[in-house]
Structure formats: C-alpha cells, structure tokens
Amino acid sequence: MGSLLNYPLVKTNNTTQRTAGSSSDGTEDSDFSADLEHTEVSESAHRRSSTRLTRASLRLSQSSQDLKQGADRDETPPRTPTGNAPSSESDIEVSSPSNDLEDERLAKELSLKEAAAHDLSHRPKRRRFHESYNFNMKCPTPGCNSLGHLTGRHERHFSISGCPLYHNLSADECKGKASTRDKQAEERTLSHRQDENRHSTRNQAPSDRQLRYKEKVTELRRKRNSGLNKEQKEKYMEHRQSHGTSREPLLENITSDYDLELFRKAQARASDDLEKLRLAGQVSEGSNMIKTIVFGRYELDTWYHSPYPEEYARLGRLYMCEFCLKYMKSQTILRRHMAKCVWKHPPGDEIYRKGNISVFEVDGKKNKIYCQNLCLLAKLFLDHKTLYYDVEPFLFYVMTEADNTGCHLVGYFSKEKNSFLNYNVSCILTMPQYMRQGYGKMLIDFSYLLSKVEEKVGSPERPLSDLGLISYRSYWKEVLLRYLNNFQGKEISIKEISQETAVNPVDIVSTLQSLQMLKYWKGKHLVLKRQDLIDDWKAKETKRGNSKTIDPTALKWTPPKGT
C-alpha cells in the first residue's frame, strides 16, 4: 500500500492548440499582384498617351464605350481613375477625324487596344485536381495503377467496381464503350421524341421501330452459341488459374452479345452511381467506407471502421436486420428478408427478465454467425475492439427491450468462458440510440451480479474505450458511496468491500483516490467518509428512481461449468 500514497487519479484532457493562421498555394496572391502591377503600368502608359490625345479621340473613346456598354456589360474591363480605358501600347498619335466613318474606325481600334490591355486569356490556367481525390489510395486489384475508370468518364479509380483491369478491359476500351453508349443514348432520346408525337392511349400498339428492335434482339439471342468449345474452355480455365478471384471471369460466349452488352451497361451505370456517391462524400476511399447503417427504425452514423467484406464495406450505407443481425446491401433486400425472418429475439437462453428488459446468454460456439455479426456491428462504435471472428471461447450477454414487434437490441457484453485474470467483461457496448439512458450501468451491474453468483472478484479487460472508462468510473463511484452510506463501523477493509461488491481492489483504490477519500496519516491509510459526496449521490438516486436497475431476484442462471 505504500505505492498508493497520495497519488490521486487526475483526469487530464490533452488538447492540441493550433496557431490560427491562413495558408494558400501562393497562386491567388500572384494573380492579384500581377493584376495590380499590370494596372499600374497601364495607368502610367495612359497618362503618357493622354497628353497627346486630342479632344476628338477622347470623344470617340467615350462614344465607343457607350456603344459597347449594352452588349458587353459583363465583359467590360475595369477603368482607370480618369474614366478612360488604360492602354499598355506605345504612344498614339490621333488626329481629328474628317467624317463619321473615320471616327468609327478609330473607336474600334481604340476599343480593341484597351481590350487587349486587360485580356488575361493568354495566361496559363492553374491546374486543380478534384478535392475528393486521395492520391495516396490505390486500387486493390493486383497490378493496377488506379488509372482509368470503367465508366470512361473519370481519370482514376480506387475500388474494384470502377477498375478496368478487374473487368478485363483497358482504360481506352472503357472510353470507347462510353462514347458508344452516349451515341446510343442520343439515338434513343431522338426516337422517344418521335414516339411522343403519336397519340398516346392505354392499349397502344407498338410502333414499327419497336417491332424492328424486338425482332433484332430475338435474332441476336437466337445466334448465341449453345456452349463453349474446347479452346474456349481451356482459355477460361487458364484465366481463372492465373488470376483467381482478383479478376472477373471471362464472360464472352456465355450468353448472347446483346445480353452481355446489357450487363456491361449495368456495371458501368452502377460504377458511375458509386463514383457520384464518393464525390458527394457519402462514400470515401479507404478503410472506413460505411458511413451509416439502417438498424430497425433507426439510421445510425458509424464512428469507426469495421472489417466487413469488401463488397459491403465500400457501400455508403448498410442495412441490418435488428433481430438476426444479418447485413444487406439495399432496402429492398432488407424488406424481403424481414418478411421471412422468423427471429424476434437473440438466440440462446433468456436468463433475466424484469418488465420489458431481458438478457440472453449466447454461446459463441453454438451461435457462431450471430456472434460474429454482433462483433462486426460493435466495431462500428468501438475503437479498441479486436475480436471479430474467433468467438467460440466467449459468452455473449445480450440485453434487449421488448415490445409488440420483438426484442430490440439495447447492448451487450462478452466475457471469456475461462479467464485466468478473472475478467468479467471482455467487450461492452450500448447501442447509440440507447446511450445516456442508464442502460450502460445496467450492463455493468449485471456483469458484477454474475461475478457475485460465481463468488469471484471481477474487473473489465483493458484497454477500455473512452465511453467505457467514463461509465465504469461512474459505476465504481456509486458502488463505493452506497457501501459507505450503509456502513456503520469504524474500521473498513478494502478486501471486505471487494468481496461484497465483487469489484477488484485495484479499482476500489483508484476510485477512492480519484474522490480524494484515501489518505495516509501517521503511518496508516485512512478512508475519509465525505458526507457531501454521499448527500449528492442520495439526491441523484432519489431523482433518478429505480427504473434502470438490475433486480438480483429476477436472475435465473447457473454458472457454466468448464467447456
């Protein structure tokens, strides 16, 4: 205990201060300075030339400005403080015109010169890449340089869906197919306009163009080869052995050319839609591509990356069944799944029920798929979680809230079946829609209740997440204040507190230090009973009520024996 003297747990917040400032690439400043310099030179040149201009030339200049003001209002160059257009040319000698034609000719020449003085079109334009491009990212296809795109409309790609090499194409071939699709779209639009001129009725007969197109498609499908010859089969097998799953299988001669072209168009369209989502910020290149999940009646924003399969991870939104935790790609698939999903609660044994709150014990060995999906879901909201697929050595305790539609997932915690360090929690999570409602402390209290039944002292596995650390410190504080409020003796033992509350002695000492209730005086350790903290805790307990508490009598559970 000597090492614990006068070391209160101090919570510090490390904030990084950044010096306010502005940064630029220097190009904007160079443009502005160049314009100022150009204007000053033009003004000086104009002052030299204006001393030699006659009144007639000035009158012609003003008349040319009035003529051009209506037509070129937006393109009129800025004037000098004298009201005339600046000129950067050499000195001009202009005499009084003899007729109107000469005046008009001189006015045109003067206007051309002043336009040339401020024409900056000869300056090279700055090259700007799209802000959303991250050039440190690479396409996951082996041997791909990330150049080109399946749609033929983008210069780079970062996913398999837009990779020309994965689809056994080159970037030039994709551009050629894109131009062909554009031409076909124009022809189709033109034909639709022609069909709009026809009288529209409900049972309208197909037009001659539509009949010819139908016959053409039928003929193309009839000409399809019935099967692959020996050379083609060898070619396909060689391609699969060389590239495996890193390339798309060869699709030629599997179906008709017409249907294959339709499939290619659908691929390009899907890839283009995905690229638009990426540019809009809904899908990002990199590991954390799932931005939101649809979970029951909630749409939740994710916090961290979770190692879902690549075909799901690259989607901006994931759809999940809140009962079996199966993940899907679209709302349609989810709706069809919910129509036939028979699950209304987690698998396993219901070991606790009070009111509408239930807790199910799920064995990772018996219900492997469900536990894996639960871990993948939890990783979206936990930073330090490393368990995804090896779920067999763990038990999962899933808390649910029941209504007339089923038992909805509130949170869960997992623990090892055989923990040598007596960890009673390996991972704990409260779903974001149920946070700050007392469910987190209910999960923690339930884990310590199981430790009491097992007659063990428990502690959570480290490291704890930020929210987990806050929840555990708050729980330990309440446990100690409740114990001290009910304690009537004069001498108190850390060991006795640990045995009664099932809290690890190290956690008890650290909590007492953080509350400044542990002191060292005359060679002895003293626990100060701070009545102010106890009174504050009583007031909060009275205000909170007993709605979010665990009732030990509602637990129907026997500690599992060795596996």
Count CB neighbours of 138 within 10 A.
Answer: 14
Measured distance between the N- and C-terminal CA atoms of the chain, rounded to whole angstroms: 38
Phi/psi of residue 135, each to 5°?
-75, 0
Q: Are strands 459-460 and 423-425 parallel, antiparallel or unpaired?
A: parallel
Residue among 173, 261, 401, 461 flagged as catalytic: 461
What is the spatial distance between Cα 393 and Cα 415, in angstroms, rounded to a whole number? 9
What is the spatial distance between Cα 246 and Cα 254, in angstroms, rounded to a whole number? 20
Can you tell me whether residue 143 is helix, strand or coil? coil
- Bridge partners (DSSP) of residue 363 are 395
Residues 33-64, buried b or exposed e (16+ Cβ, 10 A)?
eeeeeebeebbebbeebbeebeeebbebbeeb
Q: Where are the alpha helices (DSSP H) in 252-407?
A: 257-279, 310-313, 331-340, 368-379
What is the spatial distance between Cα 208 and Cα 206, in angstroms, rounded to a whole number? 7
238 is catalytic: no
What is the spatial distance between Cα 503 and Cα 422, in angstroms, rounded to a whole number? 11
Residues 6+ apart with CB under 8 A from 54: 94, 95, 96
What is the spatial distance between Cα 68 and Cα 503, in angstroms, rounded to a whole number? 87
Position 70: which residue type? G
What is the spatial distance between Cα 79 and Cα 66, in angstroms, rounded to a whole number? 13
∠425-426-431 over CA atoms, to 5°? 85
Q: Where are the alpha helices (DSSP H) in 341-438?
A: 368-379
Q: Report the catalytic residues.
A: 461
